Structure formats: C-alpha cells, structure tokens
Amino acid sequence: MPRPMQPTTHLRPGFGRKAWISLGLVLVALHLLPWVIPNVLHVMIMIFLFAIMGQGWNVLGGYAGQFSFGHSVFFGLGAYVSSLLFVNLGWSPWFGMLFSCAAGIVLGLFIGFVSFRYGLKGPFFALIMLAFAEIFHMIAMEWKAVGGALGILIPLEGNSPALMQFMDKEPFYFITLWMMVGSLYLVWKMEGTRMGLYFLATREDHDASEALGVDTFKVQMVAMGISAGMTSMGGTIYAQYLLYIDPDSTFGLANSVEIMLRPIIGGPGTILGPLLGSVVLTPLSEITRLAFQSYSGVHLMIYGLILVVVIMFLPDGIIGLVRNVFYKMLKRVG
Amino acid sequence: MTMSFVFQSLLNGLLVGGVYSLMAMGLTLIFGVMKVVNFAHGSLIMLGMYVAYWSVALLHVDPYVSILIVFPVLFIIGASFQKFLINPIINAPEHNQLLLTLGVSLFMENLAVFLWSPDYRVMKTSYAEINFYIGDITISLVRLLAFCFAMLLAAILYVVLTRTDLGKAIRAASEEPRGALLMGINIRRIYLISFGIGAACAGVGGAAITPFFPVYPYVGWLFVITCFVVVVLGGMGNILGAFVGGLIIGLADSVGAMFLPGSMKSIISFTIFILILLFKPTGLFGKNHA
C-alpha cells in the first residue's frame, strides 16, 4: 500500500518571514500587556477563554459543518468535573482539567455515536445537542451531591499555583493566553492534515465525500472529540477563575449561545474566526453589563442584533469582510 | 398515590397538551412550508402572552376577548418577520435560517426584559378561582377554556388547510414549491401567510394560558423546546402529527410530574425527543424514508 500523501503547505498559502515576525511581535506585546494596561486583564482573560471554547465549537461547527446548539454541556461538564474533584477529593484542578477533558471527550463521543450513526445533521443535530444540554442542566439542578441549584463554591486556599489558585489575575491571563495560542496552533496544524481536509469535504457535501471513500462517521467523531475536549478544558479554567459555578451559568442555554456566537460572528471554519469574534463580543458584553446593571439581558439583545446582521449581510463572518477589504486594497495597490 | 390523583394529573396534562398542540401546529406549518426551523417561536409565544396581558391590564378587555387582538397582532409580526428577515435568505443553507431565528429570539426576549423588566407578571382575572368538581377531580375553568380555545383554533386551521383554496395553495407550496409556482400560485404570498398563521398560533396558544400562567420575558423557552419535541414526534411538517404529538407530550409531562421532582419533569419528553430523533426522525406518522 502506498504511503498516504503527506500534506504540505501548498494546501494553503504559506507564511512568509514577515508574517512570522509580526506574529511574534504580537505575542511579545501580549506578554507585556499586564504591565502596560493592567485594567483590561479581566476582559482579556474572558476574550481568550471564550476564544478557546469558540475554537472548540469551530472545529465541529465551522470545519466539520455540524452546528451544535448545546456546547454548554461540555463547558458545564468541564467546570463540574474538575471542581467536584477539587472540592471533594482535593485533587489539583490541573489534574482535574485532564479528567474534564477526558469526560468531555467521552460525552462528546457518546452523543456523536448516537447521532452520527443515524446520519443526524443540520437542525436535528443542533436540537439534539440542545436537548442533551438541557438534560444535564436539569440533573445539575436536582442532584444535591453536585450542589443542586445553589452550585459549587470553590474554596480559595491562598496563592497556590499547584492548585491553580492565584490571588492575582496575571497568572490566569498567561494560562488563557497560552491555551488560546495552543488552540490556534492545534487548529492551524489540523487544517493541513488529511483529517482537516476530510472535515471540509464532509461539511461541503456529506454524500459526495462518502462516495469518494471518506469515512464521514469517523470524521465527525474525531471533530466531535476535539471539539468537546477543548470546550471542557475551558470550563475548568472558568470554574477556577470565578471560583463559583451553578447550573444556569454553566449548562444554561445562554452559554451555548455565548460559545457558538464567537466563531459564527468572527468567521466559521477559519483559524482566527473564534478569536476575532471573541475580541468583538466579549468587551461588548462586559461594557453593556456594566452600563445596564439592572437589565442583565441587554448584551444578549445586542448579540441578537449582531447575529441577524451577520447572517443577513456577512455570511462569512467578520473575517470574510476583512478579507474582502484586504483583497480590494491589494488590487488597488498593484 | 390514589387513583383520583393519577386522573387529576392526566387531565391537567391533557388540557395543557391541547395548548402544546396549537403552538406546535404553528411551528410545524412554518417548517412544512418554508423548511425553516423557527427558533423564535418561543418569543412569539411570549409576545402573544404579553399582548394578552397588556390588553387586559391597560384596555380592561376580557382575557378571552384579548385573543381577538392577539391573533391579528401576531399575524402581522410573523408576516413582517418573514418578509424582511427570512425571505432575503430563504435560499441560504438551512443553518443560517436557524441562526437568524435564534438571533431574532435573543433580540425580542431581551428587548422584552428591557421594556417590561424581567419580573413575573400574573394576570388578574375572576375566572381563575372557578373550579368544577367531578368526584375527587378538580377541573379548573381557565385550563379548560385554554384547551377549548386551542382546540377551536386548531380545528379552524385544519379546515382552512384541507377545505379552502388558500389551504390547498399552502399544501401545494409545501409539497412542491416549483410546481406550485408554475401553476400560478404566488409562493411569496403563501410564505408570508403561512408564517403569519404560524406566529398567530404561537401567540394565541400563549394568550390562552396567560390567565393561569405567569408572563415573563424568557417564558418562551419553556414552550419552544416542548414544541420542538412535539413537532419531531409528529413528524416535521405534519399538522395532524403535531396535534396528536402535543396531547401525547402533555400527558407524558404529567406522568413525569407524578414521579419526578418539579424541575425534572420534562426529562421524559426530552428522552422521547432523543429517542425519536435517533430511531425515527420522520416522526410517529412519517414514512421510513427521510
């Protein structure tokens, strides 16, 4: 059997030296940020955190084309698993994060197994994810051993890096920054592999790729596994950062919306889409939350408006708009 | 658990189920005609409830007369929603329409929070206290009336769809849009009317339960997920299926409420939902091919 063709950079435009240097400069600038403008750290942490989870959604929704309306199920599972392990058994959340990730993958593969086997897709898949998230929400509400409706208060045991507990925001800034960079790198690498191409093939035409020998069931399962694992790890960080979780703020529908809106608005199926969407949406939600404290839903109203505008006028997200403008400028220059 | 308690639960389930039927018929009509999964259905239910509530509170009309206001208002809202938002992207991939309706529902619900605050509002009506008794079983008048109004509108909708030219055109457009267009049916108008009727069904369903159900901006989510369960159970786009499915889910919820704590009672209908999606996505009355 001939060796499968090694994917090379010719599958997509390679990065020139200039691009690498500017990326490096951006990274350095981001590392200096806590000392330059310390006030924005909370917003930056939330931007990176939701960029990580949005990237998780993006692998399944953007690349493999399976829109999930219930990614909060992985987010919540990740938050609960590590927090329960920490509160009840005293296990370090670093360790717990691996369990969260594993639990997310197992749940993802289970949901994927039951739905993709029967060729569930489109709105049906979106709804079944929603149903799973709601079931977990109901269980978390009722089950007293996991805190019930009151949720879990994670005790702060002082500054202890081994337990992922810090008195300052800076460590969380670097953790989320590096996880975000890691998720970008992972998806960037994934895009160039055969599996990455199978994702796109399955998204574009399920039946045609099946006819050409792509095992679409396996492809969707892999996408689901990566997606669920990434989102669950984000849940652990969220729980350790806020030190409090309850069923509504983790398994709630609003969280599924928060997670999926970032890649959709930034540009689904692109590496930078989730980050871009998060850069736009996160500060917006934080600002409106401060400006309209008595009306907790105003940021969702603006989300809804942005979503409608993006779907109607920018189906490729903000990144599509940026790309168009960029190419137009390029044409004009030369 | 006594026999009369069981009967009481089943009766309440059936009465609420009738309202689910009406709401789900609106949802399934929209799906059947336009192949749009309307996530904003819950918001339309919410709007219907608020219109009924404000008509009673500000105009001092009878709660059941307010249905006459709710129907045209929701019809117009639904038709404009279709004309200005859905129609421009009617040929886009189906998940785009799903996301659009999600965006609209986020907007409408949180606009309601902004305008009317997130407080629970209870309609004050003299009907709410009236009960009938059959043996040990209590029948509350407001629940019975909600059921009757829902059944009445469901019956009218069914007759319109099966016995009139408009209904024939709607069914033609849903089965074969291109063929219907060639036969001189104005598809755009049919889309507009179907969405309007679908929205009005949601609104009237909401208005019918307002006398015994609190109104708040996120109330729609309680019903929209149930509506999806009903629609999938009855077969997407199948009006009669939605009718029967609504009654079944109403009963299933009441059985759930007998054995499970309050917030867990929907777990039965969710389980039905997942099983149906997995094993018979065409619904109870659907053929086996998709």
Render pLDDT for B211-236 as a digit per residue (tens, 0 to 9): 989 999 988 888 888 898 899 888 88
Of B99, B111, B267, nearest to A311 by CB-CB distance is B99
Of A124, A292, A300, nearest to B281 by CB-CB distance is A124
List chain A residues with CB under 8 Å of B92: 311, 315
Closest Cα to residue A67, out of A112, A125, A118? A125
* B258 pLDDT higher than 90: no
* A218 pLDDT higher than 90: yes
What ipTM is given for this predicted complex?
Answer: 0.87
Render pLDDT for A230-268 as a digit per residue (tens, 0 to 9): 999 999 999 999 999 999 889 988 899 999 999 999 999
Restricting to B residues 202-241, those with a Cβ less than 8 Å away from any Cβ of A are 217, 221, 225, 228, 232
List chain B residues with CB under 8 Å of A141: 263-264
User: What's the pLDDT score for residue A3?
Assistant: 55
Closest Cα to residue A281, out of B94, B106, B224? B106
pLDDT band, residue A8 (cuts 50/70/90):
very low
B217/A307 Cβ within 8 A: no
B91 at A interface, C-beta within 8 A: no
List chain B residues with CB under 8 Å of A60: none
How close is the nearest chain A Cα to the Cα of B115, in Å? 10
User: What's the pLDDT score for residue B290?
Assistant: 42
Q: What is the mean pLDDT of chain A?
A: 87
Render pLDDT for A162-172 as a digit per residue (tens, 0 to 9): 888 888 888 89
List chain A residues with CB under 8 Å of B98: 67, 123, 126
| Top-ranked range on mean pLDDT: pick from A22-31, A99-108, A316-325 | A99-108
Whole-angstrom CA distances from B177 to A190, B181, B188, B197, B235 are 41, 6, 10, 18, 19
B257 at A interface, C-beta within 8 A: no
Measure the CA–CA gap between B94 and B275, rounded to whole angstroms: 23
User: What's the pLDDT score for residue A266?
Assistant: 92
**Over residues A60-66, mean pLDDT:** 92
pLDDT band, residue A191 (cuts 50/70/90):
confident
Amino acid occupying residue B243: F
How close is the nearest chain B Cα to the Cα of A307, in Å? 5
Residues 6+ apart with CB under 8 A from B93: none
Render pLDDT for B161-189 as a digit per residue (tens, 0 to 9): 999 999 999 999 888 888 888 888 888 99
A217 or A160: which leads in pLDDT: A217
How close is the nearest chain A Cα to the Cα of B97, in Å? 8
Render pLDDT for A260-312 as a digit per residue (tens, 0 to 9): 999 999 999 899 999 999 999 999 888 887 877 766 677 888 889 999 999 99
A106 at B interface, C-beta within 8 A: no
B281 at A interface, C-beta within 8 A: yes
- Model pTM score: 0.88
What's the count of helices (H) and strands (E) in chain A, helices before strands? 14, 2
B94 or A189: which leads in pLDDT: A189
pLDDT band, residue B261 (cuts 50/70/90):
confident
Q: What is the mean pLDDT of chain B?
A: 88
Q: What chain B residue is nearest to A316 in terms of C-alpha separation? A: B96
Render pLDDT for B103-116 as a digit per residue (tens, 0 to 9): 999 999 989 988 88
Domain boundaries, chain A: 40-333
State the Cα angle at B95 between B94 and B101, rounded to 5°: 100
User: What's the pLDDT score for residue A174?
Assistant: 92
3-class secondary structure for chain B?
A: CCHHHHHHHHHHHHHHHHHHHHHHHHHHHHHHHHCCCCCCHHHHHHHHHHHHHHHHHHHCCCCCCHHHHHHHHHHHHHHHHHHHHHHHHCCCCHHHHHHHHHHHHHHHHHHHHHHHCCCCECCCCHHHHCEEEECCEEEEHHHHHHHHHHHHHHHHHHHHHHHCHHHHHHHHHHHCHHHHHHCCCCHHHHHHHHHHHHHHHHHHHHHHHHHHCCECCCCHHHHHHHHHHHHHHHCCCCHHHHHHHHHHHHHHHHHHHHHCCHHHCCHHHHHHHHHHHHHCCCCCCCCCCC
Specify the range with the lowest mean pLDDT, choosing from A162-166, A207-211, A270-274, B196-200.
A162-166
Between strands A152-153 and B137-140, the pairing is unpaired
